[in-house]
């Protein structure tokens, strides 16, 4: 994406006192053509919003108090379409919830990578038309999911870390022959499952734009297979790979593509009961695309559910664990890379997921 083109007439105000990371990010954005300015207090910020018709604010709330919440009401009255991103340290999560409930649109947790902030600002830019006005306000659904994700991280992750740590400590001091060993082991596995559920919800709520680099998709597949092969063999699930050695490199976000493939593979693992196999094939497609195809011998997907498998929170079977976000996240990632994710399946038959990615995704 050409950053300069999408940022014409788009004004962003950063309100902070002493954050070198944010200061460096502002310089980067200014060099790329963004109209960035900064203030050190909320009173100066209100004046800037009034005078400069600011489109978005990056607000560091670590130095603010709950009394300063009225700042959001004031600036929103000046510009109802104003987009507000708050940044804060982990210790200020409870304060951040108040700001989100009061009208902030998004958040980023410090310390953050500048690339994370870039992804969010790029998302801002896509919401702005050529005359500098917002194309649309954040949907209530998106806001609710982001707020829910932050609440879950606050209310579950902290005590869960303590619980998991205590369970691991008990297990380290306990012999395998102890009749309680497997009970504690199961509890620890369940704690990790909850942690993964929380992580998937937060990922879904805050998935940013791809940070693309040149890579070979085969390397990603091989790394994933290496990390899961032993565990799958223990469950009598065979992994078969057929990777095109002449596959050209693509421009993609390595972390996001890894997550998309892992989510599809995880879905296949859940679908395979008893012995089975997963086959992963990479090859050149048509129209200058590459294909990544996943075949699994699982229980298949009922015909009435195939069209809904990429919907958020959709679970094929009620007894299936998880939030139903894995395939939704994978679909979103592939779409952000200009590609497509399709599925073919019949109940009790082979299921096939196929990712198609353009070679030139710049």
In the three-class reduction of DSSP (H, G, I as helix; E, B as strand; rest coil), residue 269 is classed as helix
Specify the higher pLDDT residue, 221 or 49: 221
Model confidence at 139: pLDDT above 50? no
Angle between the N-to-C axes of helices 93-102 and 140-152, in degrees from 0 to 180, rounded to the nearest 10: 170
Of all helices (H) and strands (E), which one includes residue 291?
strand 289-296
Give the model confidence (pLDDT) of 312-343 as tens digits.
767 765 555 455 678 888 998 999 999 999 99
β-bridge mates for residue 265, sequence order? none
pLDDT value at residue 348: 65
Give the model confidence (pLDDT) of 11-22 as tens digits.
888 998 877 778
Give the model confidence (pLDDT) of 69-91 as tens digits.
888 888 888 888 788 988 888 88
Residue 301 to residue 314: CA distance in whole angstroms: 12
pLDDT value at residue 339: 93
> Is residue 104 exposed (0-12), middle (13-18) or buried (19+ Cβ within 10 Å)?
buried
DSSP-derived letter for residue 134 is B
Give the model confidence (pLDDT) of 247-298 as tens digits.
999 999 998 999 999 999 988 888 888 888 999 999 998 888 999 999 998 8
Region 25-41 average pLDDT: 82
pLDDT value at residue 322: 52
pTM for this entry: 0.54
* DSSP string covering 48-115: HHHHHT-SEEEEE-TT--GGGGHHHHHHHHH-TT-EEEEEEEGGGHHHHHHHHHHT--EEEEES--HH
pLDDT value at residue 152: 62
Half-sphere exposure of 145 (CA within 13 A, CB side): 16
Q: What stretches of the chain show up as alpha helix (H) in DSSP?
A: 3-6, 20-31, 42-52, 70-78, 93-102, 114-126, 140-152, 158-172, 181-206, 217-234, 254-271, 326-336
Give the model confidence (pLDDT) of 146-199 as tens digits.
665 666 666 777 787 788 888 888 888 888 889 888 898 888 888 887 777 777
pLDDT value at residue 323: 53
Model confidence at 116: pLDDT above 70? yes
Region 122-126 average pLDDT: 67
Measured in whole angstroms, how far is the alpha carbon of residue 178 from the centre of its chain? 40
Looking at the chain, the whole-number percentage of residues with pLDDT higher than 90 is 21
pLDDT value at residue 353: 95
What is the DSSP pairing of strand 11-15 with strand 289-296? unpaired
Q: What does each C-alpha distance from 48 to 289, 323, 345 come to in angstroms?
A: 47, 43, 56
Give the model confidence (pLDDT) of 215-249 as tens digits.
999 999 999 999 888 778 767 888 999 999 999 99
Task: Give the closest residue to 19 by CA, choosing from 61, 57, 49, 47.
Answer: 61
Specify the higher pLDDT residue, 295 or 2: 295
Region 56-63 average pLDDT: 88
């Amino acid at each position: 994406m050409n950053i300069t083109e999408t940022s014409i007439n788009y004004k962003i105000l950063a309100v902070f006192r002493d954050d070198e990371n944010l200061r460096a990010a502002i310089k980067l954005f200014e060099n790329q053509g963004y109209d960035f300015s900064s203030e050190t207090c909320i009173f100066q910020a209100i004046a800037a919003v009034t005078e400069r018709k600011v489109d978005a604010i990056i607000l560091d709330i670590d130095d603010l108090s709950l009394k300063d919440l009225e700042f959001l009401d004031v600036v929103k009255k000046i510009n109802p379409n104003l987009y507000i991103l708050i940044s804060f340290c982990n210790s200020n999560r409870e304060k951040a919830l108040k700001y989100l409930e009061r009208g902030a649109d998004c958040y980023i947790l410090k310390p953050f990578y500048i690339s994370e902030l870039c992804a969010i600002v790029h998302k801002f830019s896509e919401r702005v038309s050529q005359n500098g006005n917002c194309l649309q306000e954040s949907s209530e659904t998106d806001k609710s999911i982001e707020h829910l994700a932050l609440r879950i991280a606050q209310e579950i992750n902290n005590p869960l870390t303590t619980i998991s740590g205590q369970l691991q400590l008990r297990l380290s001091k306990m012999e395998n022959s102890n009749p309680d060993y497997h009970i504690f082991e199961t509890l620890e596995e369940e704690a990790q499952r909850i942690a993964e559920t929380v992580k998937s919800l937060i990922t879904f709520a805050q998935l940013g734009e791809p940070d693309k680099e040149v890579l070979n998709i085969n390397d990603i597949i091989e790394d994933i297979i290496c990390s899961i092969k032993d565990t799958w063999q223990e469950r009598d699930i065979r992994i078969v790979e057929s990777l095109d050695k002449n596959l050209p490199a693509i421009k993609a976000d390595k972390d996001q593509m890894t997550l998309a493939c892992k989510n599809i593979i995880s879905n296949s693992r859940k679908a395979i009961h008893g012995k089975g196999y997963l086959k992963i094939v990479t090859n050149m497609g048509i129209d200058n695309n590459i294909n990544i195809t996943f075949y699994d011998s699982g229980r298949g997907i009922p015909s009435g559910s195939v069209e809904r498998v990429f919907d958020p929170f959709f679970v094929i079977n009620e007894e299936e664990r998880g939030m139903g976000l894995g395939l939704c996240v994978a679909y979103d990632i592939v779409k952000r890379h200009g590609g497509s994710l399709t599925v073919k399946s019949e109940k009790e038959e082979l299921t096939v997921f196929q990712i198609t990615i353009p070679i030139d995704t710049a």
